[in-house]
Amino acid sequence: MLPVPALHAQDEGATVGAKAPVVLVNDLAGTPVRVGHVQGKRAAVIEFWATWCELCAELLPRVREAQQRFGDRVDFYGVNVTVNESKARVQRYVSEKRPPWVTVYDERGVAVRAFKAPATSYVVIVDREGVIRYVGSGGTQNLSAELAKVVGK
């Protein structure tokens, strides 16, 4: 597999500087979760992922590190894109790997369309005012550095 470089701000996907959409997507138990942002509250990291995504697996330690460092000020969401995925497979993955985010199962593609997610391993960072501050894709994204720009050290 060829490496995928991080997207630059306006290459694809959501627009940096635009207001982030807020969508309701069910978690694995079927409970609606507001993915995006509640203005004036906390910043958010949203990763679009799949269990079969090698770049997502490469990115996972970076997501863990960012969540450990910024989890007191930032909400983390993992939007499973459901392509070639069953809910049972996703539940097994989450149970085994314990990713550091709230997992939602986007079976209708609501979040994928709203955030214009071009691929898995796609990350959107939203500041506490609801503005998109970063978009990127690939397994080597430096999420902690990007979050430090948004919420401070």
Chain mean position to CA 146: 13
Q: Which of 109, 87, 110 is nearest to 28 (CA)?
A: 87
HSE value, Cβ hemisphere, 13 Å, CA-based, for 24: 3
* pTM score, whole prediction: 0.89
Q: pLDDT tens digits, residue range 48-103?
A: 999 999 999 999 999 999 999 999 999 999 999 999 999 999 999 999 999 999 99
For 21, 27, 59, 77, 88, the CA distances from 150, given in Å and listed in that order, are 18, 26, 19, 17, 35
Query: For the structural domain made of 23-151, what CATH number should be given?
Result: 3.40.30.10
- Structure tokens that stand for 67 in this block: 């969540």
Task: Give residue 12's pLDDT band: very low, low, confident or very high (50, 70, 90).
Answer: low
5: confidence class by pLDDT, cuts 50, 70, 90:
very low
Query: 1: pLDDT confidence band, cut at 50, 70 and 90?
Result: very low
pLDDT band of residue 41 (cuts 50, 70, 90) is confident
pLDDT at 8 over 80: no
Instruction: Specify the pLDDT at position 14.
Output: 84
Termini Cα distance of the chain: 34
Q: Would you state the pLDDT for residue 135?
A: 96
| Per-residue pLDDT at 45 | 96
Mean per-residue pLDDT over the chain, rounded: 90
Per DSSP, the three-state class of 127 is coil
Helix (H) or strand (E) holding 91: helix 87-97
Query: What residues does each domain of the chain span?
Result: 23-151
